[in-house]
Amino acid sequence: MIKVIIFLALVILSYFRHGVKPSTGPRSQAAETAKSAPPLPPPAPPKPTLEQHFPLRKIDSPYFINDLVYNHDNNFLKHPFYHKFGIDACYVHKDLMPMMIKLEQELYEKNLRAIVFDCFRPQEVQEYMWSFNPNPKFVMDPKIGSMHSRGLAIDIGLADKHGVKIEKATEVDSFTKSASHDYKCKPHEIEKCEARQLLKDIMERSGFRALRHEWWHYELPGRGAGYPTIRVCGHIECEK
């Protein structure tokens, strides 16, 4: 018994004299690795949005289907390019919002939805489009400035409650005489032209002004007096 007590005393004395070596198991190795690893970078700041820098509001409603034609190749330039300028949704000037709310109510009452083909269009985009098609009948000279570039215009069509497009006599951006509201429809086009007239009635009741030679284009009355065109590059990231 005395020998056991002496042995234990020696063990305890050795512990206090030499200490205990730290474990080299997986947990200790992980702790050492964590100590030696470089610190994590700070969180990236959120990307700036159009609403932060400009008097624009995003249209986010089940009554409006986002189908921006310049984000795919079904447009008169035959290639997508809105993504280069940070445009992935429909934005309009805040002063257009009362008309958009009234339009939403009109759609609700008629059990319809709208397909939005274009809304706010940065001034840089207008210049880009003009470089391909400098025809003032269909592309506004950027020196004058488009209503789209002020956030005061939308290109729009109708859809049924399920989101199925209601066909018109022409496609959007059809730079032909048949795109005009004055176009006299052929017998086989009557139904499509009636749909086009229905759209015009709904938009005008909501306070929009029609553009005579583009059935899809509607805007704030007044030709944008007092509203400057909006350039986005420098405020948001644009591709070169």
Q: What is the pLDDT of residues 85-117, one digit of tens each?
A: 999 999 999 999 999 999 999 999 999 999 999
Q: Are 84 and 239 in contact (CB under 8 A)?
A: yes
Q: DSSP label at 176?
A: S
**How high is the pLDDT of residue 119?**
98
Q: Quote the number of domains for the chain.
A: 1
The tokens for 165 are 């497009």
CATH of the domain at 207: 3.30.1380.10
Residue 178 placed within a domain: yes
The sign of the torsion formed by the CA atoms of 14, 16, 17, 19 equals positive
pLDDT at 30: 56
Q: Which residue's entry shows tokens 């004395």?
A: 13
Does some domain include residue 96?
yes
Q: What is the pLDDT of residue 135?
A: 84
Give domain status of residue 58, yes or no.
yes
> What CA–CA distance (Å, rounded) separates 87 from 217?
19
- Do the Cβ atoms of 217 and 153 come closer than 8 Å? yes
Where helices occur in the chain by DSSP H, the ranges are: 2-18, 26-36, 50-53, 97-109, 123-132, 190-205
Whether 236 maps to a domain, the answer reads no
User: Which band of pLDDT confidence, cut at 50, 70 and 90, is reported for residue 74?
Assistant: confident
The reply to whether 10 falls in a domain is: no
HSE value, Cβ hemisphere, 13 Å, CA-based, for 50? 26
pLDDT at 14: 57
Render pLDDT for 7-44 as a digit per residue (tens, 0 to 9). 555 555 555 555 555 555 555 565 565 566 777 777 76
DSSP state of 184: -
Q: Which domain holds residue 187?
A: 50-219
